[in-house]
A and B are shown apart, each in its own frame.
Chain A
Amino acid sequence: MSAFRLKKEHYGYLFIAPFFIAFLIFGLYPLYNTFALSFTDMTMMNSSSAKFIGLKNFTRLFADDVFMKAVRNTWLLWTLNFIPQIGVAVLLSVWFTNIRLKIKGVGIWRALFFLPNLLMPAVVASLFYALFSFYGPVNQFMVRAGFLPQAIHYLQDAAIARGLVIFIQWWTWFGQTVIIVMAGMTAIPVTLYEAAMVDGATASQMFNRITLPLLKPILIYIFVTSLVGGMQMFDIPFLLTDGRGSPSSSIMTNNILMYMKFASAKGHIGAASSVGVAVFIMTCVCALAIFYFMRERDK
């Protein structure tokens, strides 16, 4: 009946096909479509009569400082949250997995650190908004305790607003990183440490010569996934102030800018896509660079 008969040894393809079909429809096609849309002037109101306008969306993107500001903000917010995040995660993981320290209740600590991650970003953002509002508890405490002569507008200060976003991002994500790093560390055979101890190695020697090198694949994984996530940072900075990255666009990230273009009066899908494409290219280049510079260099 059918010319196409599946050989038995090819059944495997059948089993992995669902993923690839889903990927093509929900992964590759949207990506292709975003690229295609970024060369048009499509808005939500003219979707049938959109025209091809070449690179105009991109030249507009770089015509003023707004897009570059969003890129700088995103990098700043991500870098300053990632460094302490990975630092604290590695430190805690070393303590938790250290066979000499034998810390009790590791599972409980780990769960506690992970808990903030379960809170919805909307809840966290409105919590911090209320805490740091002009008549909020932080001002009440600071003034009554004599740290400040009078109440101040925390969320009107670019540095404080950025600091809050960085703190929230760090606080909600370091627990997750601890779990991954610990998993990586416990996978390192204990025999290596035992042998090192027999040879009289110090704790820092063991960390530098055994833990770090063997942990590298995990660290690269965290680095890259965090970068990808960080470049798409949206919910906390969007919800913390006015959804436009106030004060003075200091917490306006790539995705907030993209959303602003998309949600503008006419819904500029084309212009929003160009932001998406620019961020996609930037993220790809950086991720590949990470892989390149951190590759195994043994001949």
Chain B
Amino acid sequence: MKRLNLVLSLLVALSMALASCGAPSTEAPAAEAPAAEAPAAEAPAAEAPAESGKTVLNVWSFTNEIRTMAIAFEGKHPDVDVVYTMIPMTNGEYQTKLKASLGTKDIPDVVALEAAFVKEWVEADFLADLNEFLPLAEELKTYPAVVQVGTYEGVTKAYSYQATPGAFFYRRSIAKECLGTDDPEEVQAMVSDIDKFVETADKIQKCNKDYFMVGTSAELFNPFLANRKQPWIVDGELVIDPKVVEYIHFAKMMREKGYESQAQQWSEGWFAGMNDTLTGADGTPKKVFCYFLPTWGLPYVLIPNSKSDTTDTGGDWAMINGPLAYQWGGTWVGAMKDSPNLELAKEFVKFVALDEENLTNWATGVYTNEYLKAIDPETPDDQAQAPGDFVSSQVVVEKITPQFDGSDLYKWLGGQNNYEAFNKAAPKVNGALLTGSDDAIQRALESQRDQYLNGEIDEATMWAQWLDLVRNEFPDLVIPEPPVK
């Protein structure tokens, strides 16, 4: 052992000596070589400032969406070079990288923040105060929930270019067959609250035992949560709102009565229900009546999955508000407080989220590849923004709504204007309930919920285990007594 220590310490000393003084004459040229190489290696990074003295604005995001607007921004500000960095958030890489950049010289000027973690940044002290844009937001009638989410203790730090109200998408053919009508207003009246929703679920089941009201009751978790009175955390204490308990009982009832297909959300079976290829284990075909999805769910989830090799349910869908108003997802944009180009960063946020022209262009498909390439010839070919994203300004929404009559989306919805329908839902959304810790708390509950629904554990165990998990993840949180013991 002694000898090992000696050898080790010798090695340390040796390596230090080598590092500090280096071997005498022979190493000199070798040491020079890297120094000569260095500028060449740095060239790509240094390219930006070298470009005729343009101001560099560093923008970080987790998708390529905002790059489109960044290019448009460069078109308006020829003296600015937006350096866009995309880091995926699949397993939290983006969040980790962003947190790791704090306090270093690598912090970006502008950051994109997803609904799942925007609140945690708004509550922390790294984003710049953007209250100066509030009058502008008022003028554009930015949906209140969008501003609410970006605000903490009276200071607004992030805005969004989109609003993400949720909707209730249903199959017209099943509605006609089982409910006697496929008219959106009449169907809305049949599911306008949870009691009526359950009655309708019963009708659907009695009409055909192979029809399910929903893919999974998990889709209603968000809608129920959006209608709580209080957020998850108030004054350092976990709040179990009555709606949470109500939801669990609702989900159990849905399972026991067989109103749901039991396919897990985002699993193959869940998607199969969208194109009528859902097949029970015994081989009988099954159908799903409705899906709860927000604005982005229409172009990114429902429409792509409505086609299979043999089936196509396009045109057989309609959308309404459903029993509960809610929102789901969305991207917010904020400026870093310590940004060396703070004014420009703010200008960028303003352009992305609060510029009528930009929002209109974004929603109506003006940002084509040709448009973007005229500004930056190096734009990738898939950068164009297709029309249809639902923007955050009610003023813009109302101006462009007529443009969507007769569009592809319009036909897909059996002759319904999705923009108009979302505009009815968006003002009802409550954005005050989001907190930075929601994601972990909810995911912990979901795992226990599924166990309870499946009869593996009883309700009291479910609550107790969930609270244990929350306590473990949030050591400083005061945990209340479980609702059922």
Contacts and interface: CB of A to CB of B under 8 A. Distances in A.
Interface of A: 1-2, 4, 6, 13-14, 16-17, 20-21, 24, 44-45, 47-48, 60, 64-67, 129-130, 133-136, 139-140, 142-144, 148, 150-151, 153, 156-158, 241-242, 244-249, 257, 260-261, 263-268, 271
A244 B279 contact: no
B454 interface: yes
Contacts of B8: 20
Contact of B262 (A134, A140, A266): A134
Interface in B267-310: 267-269, 272, 278-283
B99 interface: yes
B447 A64 contact: no
Interface in B1-47: 8, 10-12, 14-15, 17-18, 21, 23-25
Chain B interface size range: 35 or more
B177 to A, nearest CB: 23
Contact of B14 (A17, A64, A158, A268): A17
A45 B264 contact: no
Chain A at the B interface: SS class: loop
Contacts of B178: none
Of A156, A265, A267, the most chain B CB neighbours within 10 A belong to: A265
Contacts of B267: 129-130, 133-135
Given A133-B267, A151-B281, A246 B450 contact: yes
B378 to A, nearest CB: 32
B446 A242 contact: yes
Chain B at the A interface: SS class: helix
A17 to B, nearest CB: 5
A247 B450 contact: yes
Contacts of B117: 265
A140 B272 CA distance: 15
Contacts of B139: none
Nearest to B443: A244
B469 interface: yes
B403 interface: no
B123 to A, nearest CB: 9
Contacts of A20: 8, 11-12, 15
B269 A134 contact: yes
B451 A156 contact: yes
Contact of B92 (A14, A48, A64, A263): A263
B473 interface: yes
Q: Which 4 A-B pairs have the closest CB atoms?
A: A135-B269, A44-B99, A143-B281, A151-B281
Given A144-B282, A158-B456, A60 B451 contact: no
Contacts of B474: 264
27 contacts: A6-B23, A24-B12, A45-B120, A48-B103, A64-B468, A129-B267, A130-B268, A135-B268, A135-B269, A135-B279, A142-B281, A150-B281, A151-B280, A151-B281, A153-B454, A157-B456, A244-B444, A245-B447, A246-B451, A247-B451, A248-B465, A249-B465, A260-B473, A265-B120, A265-B437, A265-B439, A268-B475
